[in-house]
Amino acid sequence: MDDLFGSADGFEILPMIDAEVRFWRGFYSSARSAELMQQLTNETSWRQETIILWGKQHLQPRLSAWYADTDTKYAYSGLMLAEREWTATLQQIREDVEAATGLRYNSVLLNLYRDGQDSMGWHSDDETELGINPAVASLSLGATRLFRFRHRFRHHGAAAQKSVAVELTDGSLLLMAGPTQHYWQHGIAKVRAETGARLNLTFRKITKRAKSPQQENQDEMGRQSRE
Ligand SMILES: O=C(O)CCC(=O)C(=O)O
């Protein structure tokens, strides 16, 4: 997959139009990644959440946990995530990710994919709470999984965009910024091959803007695609 990228300042740039996506391949060494994976697996009270999609309840095909600064609320797929206080491990990772990306985050969503049968459905991180052009920094630990992007609108004709896939390797960091969430969806499909556990942390900045009824409605439609 190396030939997908241009390169600048320690990160690679994905060649995607309507997007700003950067990739740090070895953000953490494999020794540091293994240490963090073990600490986070043990320190986190994991939950398998029930979400509502198209009016029906489903168990999410992965475990998750949410940590955030006080007073930071985030909701998707009919799920209001209750914030917890940052652990020292998560705080250290947040500082490392902020230093690399030059951005500040006030929350992190942890997802534990127990094996290849765990997945994340197609969605964009475009909830109103994230503001316009949100930056989402995604750290991966453990088993490599394929992260796919597909354009939301350019499906046909000369301007059609092919989907883009990136192998999210152990210790890698992916930053999605600029207009990425407006134009692209992303997801992690199930895989048949035997696959070990993978832990993913997505750092976000929640802004506390009130929602208009129109925005609520738009958000709800966006949420229905995430499972
Ligand atoms: O596990 C991943 O790499 C994807 C996580 C993700 O898409 C999300 O948390 O919104």
CB burial of 4-43 (b: ≥16 within 10 Å; e: otherwise) equals: ebeeeeebbbbebeebebbbbbebbeeeebeebbebbbee
- CATH class label, 2-223: mainly beta
Cα of 107 vs centre of ligand 1, distance in Å, is 14
What percent of the chain shows pLDDT beyond 70? 82
User: What number is the average pLDDT over the span 102-129?
Assistant: 95
Closest atom of ligand 1 relative to the 187 alpha carbon: 7
How much is the pTM? Answer: 0.87
Q: 60 CB under 6 A from ligand 1? A: no
Q: List strand residue ranges (DSSP E) for 90-152, in order.
A: 107-113, 120-123, 136-142, 145-151
Q: What is the pLDDT of residues 155-174, one digit of tens each?
A: 888 788 889 999 999 999 99
Give the domain ranges of the chain: 2-223
Q: 111 CB under 6 A from ligand 1? A: yes
Cα of 195 vs centre of ligand 1, distance in Å, is 17
d(CA 78, CA 81): 10
d(CA 65, CA 55): 23
